[in-house]
Amino acid sequence: MKRVCRAADLAALAGIVALALALLAPGRAAGELRLSFLDIGQGDSILIEAPNGASAMVDGGPPGSVLPPLAAALPAGRAIAAAIATHPDLDHIGGLPSVVSKRKVEKLLSSPYKSGEPTERALDVAVTDANVATGTLIRGDRLVLDEADGVFLDILWPPPNLPAAAGNNMSMVAVLRYGSSSALLTGDAPKGVEKILVAAGDPLDVQILKPGHHGSKTATDSAFVVAASPLFAVISAGISNRYGHPTAETLVTLAEAHVAIESTLGRGTVAFSTKGDGRWEMLPQG
């Protein structure tokens, strides 16, 4: 049975009113959702702002990287309804302790699988110190950000009882949906996970794809890209990173599928807006 985590539930845990009462950010049009891939160097950090003003943050990049681009996208004083840790790699959760320490975060959500790494323990300490509520997300769960407008994240991975929860196999995969607009957020999920999702017949068809593992050759299987059939792929990677991300193999796979490629590596923060009609507008920088 699908577990549903509603926005009002998150708000109640933090002792505030339902998220539907949140004020729209300045410059936001009514009915507009924004999706921003933050410029945090070699890592991932994605900000979702629903039409009702509720926001969610997926990963926080490496340590010391996320607060300035987050402040530019989400002014100080605006709460983050849910911070989501896709998996405990340093380049995904290293910046989250500073976020929960410096910003109002109502809840931290992660998969139930733990690594025991120092970065994970540092986040646990920060969450405890900031009195942030915690929870888990697994395949079949739905996180509702804006019930009135129908904005939610459907969790496709990881499943319960994952046989081998080591490394990137535990990385969360989620689909953001708002009306007929959608985006597939893959964390560092490798090709093996992608193939499972394709074989399961999951509804992967989206307009925006965040290729897994920063464009590494370990992710972005051609069959997965065909199933997702995105218009845009947004790769989050750092300039002159030592891994060579994004790899030529991934870029060729995306190009052969006629996907427009954007990257934080060359553009900085990459942001889109949509009104739920299946169309996404790329926003200007700054």
Q: What is the pLDDT of residues 66-102, one digit of tens each?
A: 999 999 999 988 999 999 999 999 999 999 999 999 9
pLDDT at 200: 96
Count of other CB atoms within 10 angstroms of residue 209 = 26
Could you tell me how far CA 92 lies from the centroid of its own chain?
10
Report the C-alpha gap between 100 and 130 in whole angstroms.
7
pTM across the whole model: 0.90
Query: Average model confidence (pLDDT) for the chain?
Result: 90
pLDDT at 29: 74
Those residues with Cβ within 8 angstroms of residue 171's Cβ, 6 or more apart along the chain or in another chain: 86, 87, 157, 158, 186, 187, 188, 189, 190, 193, 212
Could you tell me where the beta strands, DSSP code E, fall in the chain?
Answer: 4-5, 33-37, 46-49, 55-58, 82-85, 107-110, 133-136, 142-146, 151-157, 173-178, 181-185, 208-210, 232-235, 260-263, 270-274, 281-282
pLDDT at 4: 63
Residue in the structure block whose two tokens are 């009195």: 131
Chunked in runs of 10, what are the mean pLDDT values of the chain (286 residues)? 53 37 53 97 97 97 96 94 96 97 97 87 96 97 96 96 79 97 97 97 96 97 98 96 95 97 94 97 85
- Nearest 5°: CA angle at 155, between 162 and 172? 55
Superfamily in which the 4-18+32-269 domain is placed by CATH: Ribonuclease Z/Hydroxyacylglutathione hydrolase-like (3.60.15.10)
CB 192 within 8 A of CB 212: no
